[in-house]
Structures are given as structure tokens and as C-alpha cells.
Structure 1
Amino acid sequence: MKDAKPKVPTGPGRGGHASSSLKAASTRTAARVQGGGKRFPYYPWLDFGGAVGRNNRTKRPFMKTGRYIWKSYAENQEKVTAQLAGALTRVVIDAGLEVS
């Protein structure tokens, strides 16, 4: 998320900064990064592209892999994997199990 946030364009108006909508979210079984929401419904268009507006006149090339969140994840995948493996190892050790 820290890597993606500065890459998201800022809007022209006060408070119109879609980058402020990037947030980490988690549940008991999943962790995710999300962007957009009620205040920034245009965020998916910024990240992935497509056509929006009256008669779909405003176009941005569609990118299946996105421009910000997924691209940043791909660039940092090794680091994320290492941190996840370390955290899981600590959980196993704290549970009193052996790590081989």
C-alpha cells in the first residue's frame, strides 16, 4: 500500500484525492488492500481504466493488471512473501510446535 499510494493521481479539488482512499483491510481469514468507496467511486476507473461519463466519452486504456495496487504488489511480491512466512513461523513457534 505504501508503494501504491504515491502513484495514484490527485484530484483537482480540495479533498478529491483518491490516494487517501487506499486502506489496508483484514478479516479473520484474509488481508487486502482496497481503494475507492463512496467518496471516490471513480477509483476503479483510475486504476483499471475503461469508459465513463455521459455516453462513455471519457476513456482510459483498460489494464487488467491495474496501474497501482496490483502493480505495486507484483513489484514487492518477494518482500510480502518473506514477511508472511516470518509471521507464520512465529505463530507456529508461539503455538509450541516445532519448525523444521
Structure 2
Amino acid sequence: MLNLILMIVVFFCSFAIGYLLISRVPPLLHTPLMSMTNAISAITILAALILFAVPTTPVEKIFGSIAIITATFNVVGGFAITHKMLKMFKGKKKQA
């Protein structure tokens, strides 16, 4: 039970700090920030997978599953948006 409380406290603290930091980023830096959040989400996926390597309670398994699903959604969405943005900057090919 103590592990669950600790995980919840860490989640809320990281949420608050992340929100405060990201809300103050100028629009020019959003693309590099998106790359960084993709990396952080990948770390979240690895950490949640490591959580499943040890005996856990059903509640911890639910939280781990939610972490994997949301972080995967963030990584895939981030790469899709980055791909779209990079596509916008490619020059159009001239036809001969």
C-alpha cells in the first residue's frame, strides 16, 4: 500500500512540475519540446514494463497498464505530428 501512495504522490508532483514548465515554453521551442516528451514517454513505457517484472498488486498492474497505454499514445502521436511538420518543410519537387 505504501508503494501505491508513493507512486500517486510522485505522479501528482511530476504532473504539477511538468505543467508549470511546459506552460512557460515559447511557441518557437515547441518542436524540440515535443521530441523531449517523446523520449520521456519512452522512458515511462520502459519503467512500466519493468514494473511488470516484479510481483505487483492488481491496482499497480492497472496503473502500469494505464501508463503504458497513455505513454504509447503520446509517442505515436508525437512522431506522427513531427512527421507532418517535417513534411511541411520539404521543398516540392519540380517536374521536368
Could you tell me the TM-score, scaled by structure 2's length? 0.35
Identify, as 1 or 2, the structure richer in strand: 1
Q: Which fold has the larger relative contact order, with Cα–Cα distance below 8 Å and residues 6 or more apart in sequence?
A: 2
